[in-house]
Amino acid sequence: MTEILDNDYNKFPHAVKETFLGCIVDLPQKTPLYGTLLGLVNAKSFDMTQALLKEITDQFQIALDSNKWRDIKLMLRFFAELVNSNVVLPETFLNVARTFTDELGSGGVSLKRSDCIAYVVMSALPNAGAVLSERAPVELDAIVTAIHDYMKARPKVQDLDILRVFKDEQRIGESQDTIGTFWSVLQELGSDGWKVPILMKQYKNFDHELSQALQHELPKFVLPRPSEVAETSYIRPVLSLDITNGKNEMTLSKMERILLHDIIADLIDIMEVNRKECAKYLVGLANNFEPGVFQHPDDDEAMDTEENGERRAISLPLLVVEQILSQMLRLPASCFPQVYYAALAIEVAKTDADIVSPAISKVIRSLYDGFEKTDVECIHRLEVWFAHYLSNFNFEIEKDLFDNALTANERHPHVCFAQDVFAKEIHLSYYERTKTDMPKQYQILIPPEAPAPHFRFREEGNVYQSVARGLVERMTAKMPAEELEETGIKAIRSKCDEEGVQGVEQEKVVQEIFIECVLLLGSKSFSHVLNVIERYLPLLQKLCNDPEMRLNAVKTIASFWRNNTQFLGIVVDKLLNYSVIDPPSVIGWVFDSEQTQNMHRAYPWESLRLVCDKVVGRVEQVKDALADVERRHERFEKLREEGIIQDEEGREEERTKTQELSAELQRVQQDEREIFLIVFQRFVTLLTELIRVYEARGVEPAKEWLYWWTFGWYTAFLRMYHSQVSSMLVQLESVVFPDTLDQTILEPFKQIRQYINQEHLVIS
């Protein structure tokens, strides 16, 4: 391989440099291999190695300047491997590490930054710890001592229930303070002689060649200055979930588990742009670690104990699936959209369904069995993920997986999960296929008929049947909105007068008939409903002209699409975009007394999140527009100062646009605050009422599933929108969360406030 590299370098030096660098930062599982490879190149050509190192170190400084901390971590780990392959001296590498640890004593910087720096150094030490402790023990001890001093002075990070996926004491797993955990394990590793058996040590096979080579110096690097922009780029060790109670990895040391999880998390992160490549590298991980670490595909399932004094191999498919789901269930949010993790799991399964599918079944069963002690939002993420997965594999699940859902309480999480998975499966496919593919005993968990509109005015005996039919006929003929109002709407009003329905009640009847007719004509497809809405948009807006009528409109839509919540979500989304309805009307429907009985299903909360996301998105949109205008103004001001352009008129236009957008930003931010005040006030009111009702019955609220779901989603919304909560803490404390509030309801707010404070901790 060194000869190939040498030949290619002579012909295409730039391409070889770029490729080699790409291998270091894109393939973290192969770091030991590329460290040894560069060592062998160095043994043959000092100059070529120097040129490659120059490219790598230049890019390392660029990564530092750009705050690309994952790349920094991987390149520093590669430098550690260069110690093993004798490309650089131990002291040279430790001098680079000292550049980082010297920053740990700096005051006035964020905890995020200091933790990130400590993590980057700690993650490199296991790769070369054994060689460093033998050849440069004093210098290594200085680095470890610097980290020790930082960890001792570092503020303690509390574990918070609001960030736990599992509430079961036996499944809580690692501390949320992943830096603290990493440091504890690193200390144990140092005491044990820095032994990491799973890491490949190819350099030992070439000891003679490598020992003859000359060493290189590494330049002095400069760390970037702290900045507000950089705060979002800092990295921490991943928090992995103990989904299968650690049985698969019990023979690995703590450090081995951390390194494995770290490499898998990096691969999932790096390869997000190409899930097929990611799946290929994940299923091929076994080739990058010492033989015997992972089971051979033909072996029986890994045992829970050691045999004949030898470590039992672990199941790679099970490890990969667990880590994909660990990343997907990360709280308060996963790094990527949820659909990525579903698509990735599907690609992994496609590589070898016979091996991966049993691993997925095992993980899902383990999660499903623990739903009573699982975070509500995480259950919902799993619903979406599992439905997506099943839709690609002909509903192949264990035949008894959902058996207990057949007899449990209708609001039990097992029942709700099964029903929502099946409902989403129908949305992703179609009713007949889902019904045919699913195990027959589970068919009682889906509607007996395909989801269809519920058009009330078609029913015999409905006094408005004839006027509704006439309205549908006119709309089918594409009668213009103005003419429709003069004929069809007028006919409805006349019928209301005959029935003695007047005032607001008449307006509601007119609105309900018109909206249901619009939805009926649009029920064939997404494009149909858009066309009908756009054709009669002025009339829709006219009939939804105040808060009460907008709330009534949402209730009408929910009634019409009560058997197809997918279309319900689509219509609500589009009518929000067209300002026919507004966020308060959707919030009012979600928390309406008639609707609260459905709090155990996913669709009300999906609608509420849709509203909140739109409000937040509007604020971000205006912020981005204002930032663009300000940047443009600044750029043109420089040109004006230099005399390149003379444009006073343009300057005034820029100032006017900036003022307009600043005013718009204040308005949408105020709207955002008002919406979240309404949301959390409605949560508090509902939970307070549920507590009152259950306690009056002598029942513990937490043991009632309606309360369990509502409280779980209340906690989830505080967590999902913690950034918005952070910007209005004082207002929330005084208006929604006074100290006199029931402590059970108040506790999640206190915890999210503590989380916000921890995220903004500064090292003194």
Mean pLDDT of 703-716: 97
Q: Cα separation of 203 and 51, whole Å?
A: 21
Residue 298 scores a pLDDT above 70: no
155-165 average pLDDT score: 93
**pLDDT averaged over every residue in the chain:** 92
Choice among 332-336, 566-570, 652-656 with the minimum mean pLDDT? 652-656
Map residue 512 onto helix, strand or coil.
Answer: helix
52, with CB counted inside 10 A (0-12, 13-18, 19+), is buried
Q: Is residue 309 over pLDDT 60? A: no
Rounded Cα distance, 485 and 629, in Å: 43
Q: Residue 42 to residues 3, 46, 89, 212: CA-CA distances in angstroms?
A: 12, 5, 13, 10
Closest CA to 273 of 337, 333, 328: 337
Tell me if 321 sits within 8 A of 283, measured CB to CB.
no
pLDDT of res. 613:
97
Q: Is the pLDDT of residue 711 over 70?
A: yes
- Average of per-residue pLDDT across 656-685: 97
* Structural tokens at position 108: 């006035």
pLDDT at 728 over 80: yes
Q: What pLDDT sits at residue 647?
A: 74
Among 95-109, 110-124, 168-182, 199-213, whose mean pLDDT is lowest? 168-182
Lowest model confidence (mean pLDDT) among 51-55, 460-464, 599-603, 696-700: 460-464
- Is the confidence at residue 335, as pLDDT, over 70? yes
Whether 568 contacts 586, CB under 8 Å: no
Give residue 400's pLDDT: 87
Residue count of the chain, please give it.
Answer: 764
**With respect to CATH, is domain 2-237 assigned 1.25.40.180?**
yes
Write the pLDDT tens digit of every residue in 449-458. Answer: 899 999 999 8
Q: Is 90 exceeded by the pLDDT of residue 147?
A: yes
pLDDT digits (tens, 9 = 90+) for 683-695: 999 999 999 999 9
Same fold? 2-237, 275-298+314-445? yes
Residue 122, CB half-sphere, CA atoms under 13 Å: how many?
A: 33
Position 575 pLDDT exceeds 90? yes
Six-digit token string for 311: 């470590």
Taking residues 692-710, what's their average pLDDT? 97
- The number of C-alpha atoms within 13 Å of 90 and in the hemisphere containing its C-beta is 19
In the prediction, which pLDDT does 172 show?
A: 62
**DSSP state for residue 352 in the 8-state scheme:** -
Any bridge partners for residue 763, and if so which?
A: 109
Q: Could you tell me which CATH number the domain at 275-298+314-445 has?
A: 1.25.40.180
Contact 446, 435 (CB under 8 A): yes
**Residue ranges covered by each domain of the chain:** 2-237, 275-298+314-445, 456-562, 608-763
Per-residue model confidence (pLDDT) at position 299: 60
Mean pLDDT of 575-594: 97
Structure confidence at residue 107 (pLDDT): 81
Phi, psi for residue 163 in degrees, rounded to 5: -105, 10
SS3 readout for 688-701: HHHHHHHHHCCCCH
CA distances for 283 relative to 249, 326, 345, angstroms:
17, 17, 11
Closest Cα to residue 612, out of 735, 750, 715, 724?
A: 724
DSSP-based three-state secondary structure for 310: strand
Residues 654-658: contacts with CB under 8 Å, at least 24 apart: 654/629, 657/629, 658/626, 658/629, 658/630, 658/633
Query: pLDDT-derived band of residue 611, with 50, 70 and 90 as boundaries?
Result: very high
Residue 310 has pLDDT above 60, yes or no: no
303 pLDDT above the threshold of 60? no
| CA atoms within a 13 Å half-sphere pointing along the CA-CB vector of 748 | 25
Tens-place pLDDT, residues 377-423: 999 999 999 999 998 887 777 778 999 999 999 999 999 999 999 99
The amino acid occupying position 46 is F
Mean pLDDT lowest among 405-414, 427-436, 479-488, 661-670: 427-436
How confident is the model at residue 259, as a pLDDT?
95
Closest CA to 514 of 548, 562, 477, 481: 481
Give me the mean pLDDT over the 279-294 stretch: 93
Mean pLDDT of 125-150: 97
pLDDT at residue 305, as a whole number? 42
Whether pLDDT at 300 is above 70: no
Say what the pLDDT of residue 297 is.
63
Q: Are the C-beta atoms of 404 and 588 separated by less than 8 Å?
A: no
pLDDT above 90: residue 571: yes
Structure tokens at 519: 């939805």
Which CATH architecture describes the domain 456-562?
Alpha Horseshoe (1.25)
pLDDT of 302 over the 50 cut? no
Q: Which residues of 374-401 are buried (b: 16+ CB within 10 A; e: fewer)?
A: bbbbbbbbbbbbbbbbbbbeebebeeeb
Cα–Cα distance measured from residue 89 to residue 83, given in angstroms and rounded to the nearest whole number: 6
Task: Report whether pLDDT(248) > 80.
Answer: no
Residue that wins the pLDDT comparison between 107 and 521? 521
Q: Which two tokens stand for residue 624?
A: 């981005």
Res 308: pLDDT: 45
Cα(16)–Cα(11) distance, integer angstroms: 9
The predicted pLDDT at position 304 comes to 41
522, pLDDT greater than 80 = yes
Q: Do residues 283 and 213 touch, judged by C-beta distance below 8 A?
A: no
